[in-house]
Structure 1
Amino acid sequence: MINQIKPYLIQALLSEFIIDKKRKYADKKRIKNNLTHQVTVYLAIDDPYSYLLLQTLAELKDRYSLEYDFRTVLNKPTEMYPAPEMWTDNAFQDGVFLAELYQLAFPAQPPKISQQQKLIATAQLLHYELQPRYLAKALEIFSSYWQEDNDTLASLIDPVIQSHSECYQQHLLSNEAMLKQHGHYQSAMLHYGGEWYWGIDRLQYLEKRLNDLHPSADKKILFNQTHNILQSDNTLPVANDEKSPLVIYWSIRSPYSYLGLLRAKRLAAHFQVPLVIKPILPMVMRRMLVPKTKRMYILQDVNREAAALDIPFGKVADPLGKGVERCYALFEYANAKQLGVEFLLTYAQAVWSKGICSETDAGLKHIVEMSGLNWFEAKQYLDDNSWKTWAQNNLFALYQHNKWGVPSFSYENTTVFGQDRLLQIQHAIASSHQKS
């Protein structure tokens, strides 16, 4: 009974009506208390996304008359970062791409800064939080850190703070506790009116929201990648199997994978390249932790991403467990019928936008038949466990690309994590085609 009601509850919580009500309540409360548009900003000195975000905040402040409450953080919760070294490498790769896209400062190589220097720089930032002009002062420290200008960095640190950095540990822990208490877990986050906006990738949603609150504001959106990405299906000929494939490492339990598969399919169709899907088990089924805080933020974030991309989302029937197993058990059968992509996409649409319970025979039968497959044939494969071998092999292949999460996309020498980086894959395919 609960499983039948849950999709409708999630759909209601993610609905435009509820979101609009919450936003109006937050703004009404702000006006009643005679408050400015205050944004809480969480930054970490060693986070590439924080450095890039920091460079945009002065312009955003001037455009919307914002007030910032800066909160310096540093420690990464282990349950939120299952592969911290891979995360660090990937974040730097993202930083290089985003800096070029938006013409921001960023180094060509990661800085070699000691842990002690990092702690001291963090202490200085914590000290600045309680003084005026944090933004300008922090940008100096971040810039010298990321450009590996050790002399300048040393000159920006007060000697008293350098020798007493431990005095700022409680301040740091307080900021990190506040981040967790308000419902998040990572840096480069903006918190405004009850909603979270991550780095440059989500600034467009804050810009749109503030535009609605400022009738006289210039309605421009400065930080929007989506207009550069192919958004519609194409009717080009079937892909040439001799061309390099676009490979997606994918999970039916990942709502980002749902968005990513649909968008990758469009890219592959446009450039006439094969699309190869390599499903892997979701983290929970690999006995890893995915805290509730992370799950809730992901649903809210995917909801607005889906809306911006005009992709149906929100009536969710989580396929964790049996739903995942049944999906993967039928994948090879669907592939043999040349309907592997269609089957996974139909399955993803069913569990992430239609609330279909795939762990039931009635729900799975609907998915199978909507994919163009035969239910009588398909159900004979439900007890086939051979997928457990190839799912783990796909995970090993993902690790070989120095990536850990889904969706990840690979084309020739370019591999990226997250559907946010499909523009980078698009550039890689276009560049390859120009050379050939």
Structure 2
Amino acid sequence: MSDFVDVFWSFRSPYSRLVVPDLLKLRDDFHVTVRLRPVLPLAIRFPQSLFDPNDKRAPKYIVRDSMRRGQMLGRPVVYPLQPDPVVQDFTTMKVSDHQPHIHRLTKLGVEATRQGKGLEFAGHVSAMIFGGTQGWDKGSIFSQTVEEIGLDLAALDNAIEGGDHAEDIESNHKALDASGHWGVPTMVFRDEPLFGQDRVDTLRWRLENAGLAR
């Protein structure tokens, strides 16, 4: 029976976008199952407590740092997102009650995971969203991106319509909380959380120590 690495991951997180290639490589290098567990972003889970409209330091730093990190890794992170997966007024930091993208994206991630291609779906779609693609939610751009990994967007949408995917997402929220962290990406191996795209090397070290290298 294979060991597991659970990956708590969000479609609104630039660092989640950056970590996927490293996780795919890790999956190839070790006898371990890497399970994508999509969660809603903090802006949706904790909208009241997360953002102070009078203090913009955190969002400004995240934008600067993720662009710098993406440039270093050769994985572009381009702002502004067009559209942003989360509808939010960055003047007031208020998150809209109307969210046409993020719930669908997260459910699609759950369904892709059920079909055995969660990481591939996350990687391709987040690269599209954060790679400067304008109007990624319209026309054939999204469907063509999904086709590149052998999935059909219409079939995925049909699967999440009326499905129990929201229950999986809520289960992922609870599991992330139980792991001892709240942010993304958080990787959990044998009940130990490792938070951040820059913690993959630490995770590899843990897997090596556990004797899981192929």
State the TM-score bracket (shorter-chain normalisation): 0.7 to 0.9
2-side partners of 1:336 and 1:418: how far apart? 24
> Out of 17, 34, 47, which is 1:258 matched to?
17
1:307 corresponds to 2:66: no
| Residue 396 of structure 1 pairs with residue 174 of structure 2 | yes
Out of 367, 377, 395, the position equivalent to 2:145 is 367
RMSD of Structure 2 on Structure 1 (CA): 2.4
Match of 1:276 among 13, 35, 42: 35
8 A contact 2:32–2:212 mirrored in 1: no
Q: TM-score, normalised by structure 1?
A: 0.41
Structure 2 distance, partners of 1:418, 1:319, is 20
Aligned: 1:345 with 2:158: no
State the shift of 1:400 in Å: 1.1
The amino acid across from 1:421 in the alignment is: R
Measured in 1, the distance between the counterparts of 2:105 and 2:213 equals: 39
State the match for 2:208 in structure 1. Answer: 430
Q: Give the counterpart letter for 1:245 in structure 2.
A: F
Residue in structure 2 matching 1:297, options 42, 61, 72: 61
TM-score, scaled to structure 2: 0.80
Aligned to 2:7: 248
Report the AA paired with residue 308 of structure 1: M
Match of 1:329 among 107, 128, 134: 107
Q: Deviations over 1:341-376 (max 9, x none)?
A: 211111110101132434435443233223321234
* Structure 2, gaps ≥5 residues long: 87-98
The one-letter code sitting in structure 1 at the alignment partner of 2:74 is D
Tell me by how many angstroms 1:310 deviates: 1.8
**Alpha-carbon distance between aligned partners in 2 of 1:434 and 1:341, rounded to the nearest angstrom:** 20
Does the aligned pair in 2 maintain the 1:405–1:417 contact within 8 Å? yes
Aligned residue for 2:198? 420
Cα shift at 1:324: 1.6
Amino acid at match of 1:266: K
Cα distance, 1:392 vs structure 2:
1.6
Looking at structure 2, the residues matched to 379 and 435 of structure 1 have their Cα atoms a distance apart, in angstroms, of 37
Does the aligned pair in 2 maintain the 1:368–1:378 contact within 8 Å? Answer: no
Return the alpha-carbon distance in structure 1 between the equivalents of residues 144 and 59 of structure 2: 27
SS at match of 1:274: strand
Deviation of 1:331 after TM superposition, in Å, equals 2.7
Q: Which amino acid aligns with 1:290?
A: F
Q: Equivalent residue for 1:319?
A: 85
Note if 1:354 corresponds to 2:115: no
Residue 308 of structure 1 deviates from its aligned partner by 1.5
Per-residue CA deviation, residues 80-125 of structure 1 (Å, 9 max, x unaligned), is: xxxxxxxxxxxxxxxxxxxxxxxxxxxxxxxxxxxxxxxxxxxxxx
> Structure 1 unaligned runs (5+)?
1-241
1:435 to 1:389, Cα distance in 2 relative to 1, 3 A: closer
Kept in 2: contact 1:250–1:280 (CA 8 A): yes
Summarize the Cα distance change of 1:249–1:371 in structure 2 as closer, same or farther, 3 Å threshold: same
Secondary structure of 1:391's match? helix
Which residue of the partner structure matches residue 411 of structure 1? 189
Contact in 2 for aligned 1:407/1:418 (Cα 8 Å): yes
For the structure 1 residues 434 and 334, does the alpha-carbon distance in structure 2 shift closer, same or farther, using more than 3 Å as the test? closer
Task: Give the C-alpha shift of residue 435 in structure 1.
Answer: 9.9
Aligned residue runs from structure 1 range 10-409, under 5 A? 242-288=1-47, 289-291=50-52, 292-314=56-78, 316-317=81-82, 318-320=84-86, 321-360=99-138, 362-381=140-159, 383-384=161-162, 386-409=164-187
The answer (yes or no) to whether the contact 2:9–2:184 under 8 Å persists in 1 is yes
Percent identity of paired positions between Structure 1 and Structure 2: 24
Q: 1:266 and 1:435 mapped to 2: Cα distance? A: 12
1:312 Cα offset (Å) = 2.5
Alpha carbons 2:19, 2:185 under 8 Å: kept: yes
Larger radius of gyration: 1
Structure-2 change in CA distance of 1:294 and 1:357 (3 Å): farther
Could you say if the C-alpha distance between residues 397 and 332 of structure 1 is closer, same or farther in structure 2, counting changes exceeding 3 Å? closer
Q: 1:319 to 1:367 in 2, by over 3 A?
A: farther
* Cα deviations by residue, 1:101-156 (Å, 9 ceiling, x for unpaired): xxxxxxxxxxxxxxxxxxxxxxxxxxxxxxxxxxxxxxxxxxxxxxxxxxxxxxxx
Q: d(CA) in 2 for partners of 1:325 and 1:352?
A: 17
Q: Secondary structure at the match of 2:150?
A: coil
RCO (CA 8 Å, sep 6+): is it higher in 1 or 2? 2
Question: Is the CA contact (8 Å cut-off) linking 1:319 and 1:359 kept in structure 2?
Answer: no
- For 1:403 and 1:392, locate their aligned partners in 2 and report how far apart those are by CA, in whole Å: 15
- What CA deviation, in whole Å up to 9, does each residue of 1:138-175 have, x standing for no partner? xxxxxxxxxxxxxxxxxxxxxxxxxxxxxxxxxxxxxx
Whether the 8 Å CA contact 2:183–2:195 is kept in 1: the answer is yes
Match of 2:7, SS state, is: strand
